[in-house]
Structure 1
Amino acid sequence: MAEIKFDKMVSYYRKMNGWTMKELAERMGKTESAVSRWESGTASPKIKDINVLSEVLGVDADVLIFGKSTSSNSSSDIISETVEIMKQLDKTTQSNILNFVKFEFTKAEQAKQTEENSASVS
Structure 2
Amino acid sequence: MRIGELAKVTGVSTRALRYYEERGLLPAARLGNGYREYDEQAVPRVAFIQDLYRAGLPSEVIREIIPCTGGEQPTGDCSGLVDRVRQVRDRLAHQEQLIAQRRQMLESYLSGAAAPAAMTRRAPQVPIAS
Q: TM-score, normalised by structure 2?
A: 0.40
Q: TM-score, normalised by structure 1?
A: 0.42
Structure with bigger gyration radius: 2
* Larger helix fraction of residues: 1
Higher relative contact order (CA 8 A, sep 6+): 1
